[in-house]
Amino acid sequence: MIRAGVFGATGYTGFELVSLLEQHPEVEIVFVASQSYAGRSLREMYVGGSDLPLIAPGDAPLDATDVVFLCLPHAAAAQTAVAALNAGNKVIDLSADFRLKDVAVYEKWYGIPHPAPELLPEAIYGLTEFARESLQSTRLVANPGCYTTTCLLALQPLMAAQVAINGDVVIDAKSGVSGAGRKPKTNTLFVEVANNFSPYSIGRSHRHLPEMEQVISWWHQTPPQLIFSPHLLPVPRGILANIYVPLAGTVDQAALRALYEDVYADEPFVRVLPAGELATLAHVVHTNRCVMSLTFAGNMLIITSATDNLVKGAAGQALQNMNVMFGCEETVGLVR
């Protein structure tokens, strides 16, 4: 059995992860930790929560676990990672702390000194489909962001094939409200969100932008600039992005479709829909899928990509990464 611990278990990604771990046949949950609710149980926090007792983070028995998941805000995650690694654990961090390789870029976008810059070189960026080999030997995984996962899976075939792009790639993305976490904020109150649809951090100002641009620069020799405009959708969960890619030269629609079908042919969690079908949130919610569709409009390729932000965009991908790291069947415990 893989002995697992979860920090931040009372948050949205933490609760989703604990729920997945409880169903995993090869996992024993050793502890679930909470700073605010130690001494209570998950049942008191969530309808459908189990009787697992919440312990204080400082009481976590890090010498009794093999893997620790960090479902914490950035900064708190990196500090906890250091303690968990020092105790001999593998660490899967759902925060942004180890996603950006350049400390200066992290400090610019997150506005704080990096709490553990010495760990950045060894952290593996855990977009599972493109990191399997590195995942098998690492002890530290940076689980990608939710928007980032949705967009990078959509862009990878074009980028890795060095397809020529003629201008900026525009990403028009929408997320359900759980993407903002469970901590109360004015803009996620029911009265603000219900019957509304609002943009935020549009253009080049959202923190997932440098993460996406970093990764596409690993794939494409002349990566395009991204314009990324997220929106808050009045639904609990799910992300849908329309990604507008201006292609250079003559567009061979059949060849591009074949490229996508080929890259994802054997992927259990990524589906490219047949021509004429469009990806929707209903294709993905409560699953670990990324479902995408391709639409051509002249020289513009529009990739519509959808995920569940709490599953493939967070807890599901974290579990998928754990499966690869520990040599389990990659799909165990996850809805395909």
Ligand X SMILES: NC(=O)c1ccc[n+]([C@@H]2O[C@H](COP(=O)([O-])OP(=O)(O)OC[C@H]3O[C@@H](n4cnc5c(N)ncnc54)[C@H](OP(=O)(O)O)[C@@H]3O)[C@@H](O)[C@H]2O)c1
Between residues 6 and 291, which has the closer beta carbon with respect to ligand X?
A: 6
Q: Mark the segment that binds ligand X (CB under 6 A) among 12-20, 124-132, 227-235, 275-283.
A: 12-20
Between residues 10 and 320, which has the closer beta carbon with respect to ligand X?
A: 10
Minimal CB distance residue for ligand X: 11
CB neighbourhood size of 22 (10 A): 13
- Judging by beta carbons within 10 Å of its beta carbon (0-12, 13-18, 19+), is residue 83 exposed, middle or buried? middle
Helix (H, G, I), strand (E, B) or coil at 26: coil
Is the separation of the CB atoms in 291 and 241 below 8 Å?
Answer: no
List the one residue out of 202, 196, 205, 210 whose CA is nearest residue 230. Answer: 202
Between residues 115 and 246, which has the closer beta carbon with respect to ligand X?
A: 115
* Region for 250 from its dihedrals, namely left if φ exceeds 0, alpha if ψ lies in -120 to 50, beta otherwise: beta
Could you give the angle at the alpha carbon of 124 between the alpha carbons of 119 and 126, nearest 5°? 135
Q: Which of 71, 146, 290, 328 is catalytic?
A: 146
Between residues 248 and 286, which has the closer beta carbon with respect to ligand X?
A: 286
d(CA 132, CA 20) in angstroms, rounded, equals 21
| One residue of 2, 4, 6, 146 binding ligand X per CB under 6 A | 146
The nearest distance, CB 323 to ligand X, in angstroms, is: 18
List the one residue out of 92, 30, 1 whose CA is nearest residue 322. Answer: 92
Q: How many residues at the interface with ligand X, by CB under 6 A?
A: 28
Between residues 182 and 204, which has the closer beta carbon with respect to ligand X?
A: 182
The nearest distance, CB 72 to ligand X, in angstroms, is: 5
Q: Mark the segment that binds ligand X (CB under 6 A) among 5-13, 23-31, 116-124, 134-142.
A: 5-13
Considering only residues 15 through 54, tell me which ones interact with ligand X, judged by CB under 6 A: 34-37
List the one residue out of 86, 313, 46, 20 whose CA is nearest residue 4. Answer: 20
d(CA 96, CA 73) in angstroms, rounded, equals 8
d(CA 105, CA 210) in angstroms, rounded, equals 8
- Site mask, ligand X, residues 171-190, x = CB under 6 A? -------xx-xxx-------
Between residues 126 and 333, which has the closer beta carbon with respect to ligand X?
A: 126
d(CA 237, CA 254) in angstroms, rounded, equals 33
Residue in the structure block whose two tokens are 């959509």? 154
Q: 33 — phi, psi (to 5°)?
A: -115, 145
d(CA 154, CA 257) in angstroms, rounded, equals 12
Residue 13 interacts with ligand X (CB under 6 A)?
yes
146 among known catalytic residues: yes
Which residues lie across from 7 on neighbouring strands?
A: 33, 70
d(CA 80, CA 204) in angstroms, rounded, equals 30
Considering only residues 298 through 317, tell me which ones interact with ligand X, judged by CB under 6 A: 309-310, 313-314
- Site mask, ligand X, residues 93-112, x = CB under 6 A? -xx-----------------
The nearest distance, CB 123 to ligand X, in angstroms, is: 14
Between residues 5 and 14, which has the closer beta carbon with respect to ligand X?
A: 14
| One residue of 72, 159, 241, 303 binding ligand X per CB under 6 A | 72
| One residue of 52, 62, 76, 302 binding ligand X per CB under 6 A | 76
Catalytic residues: 146
Q: Interface with ligand X by CB under 6 A: which residues? A: 8, 10-14, 34-37, 71-74, 76, 94-95, 145-146, 178-179, 181-183, 309-310, 313-314
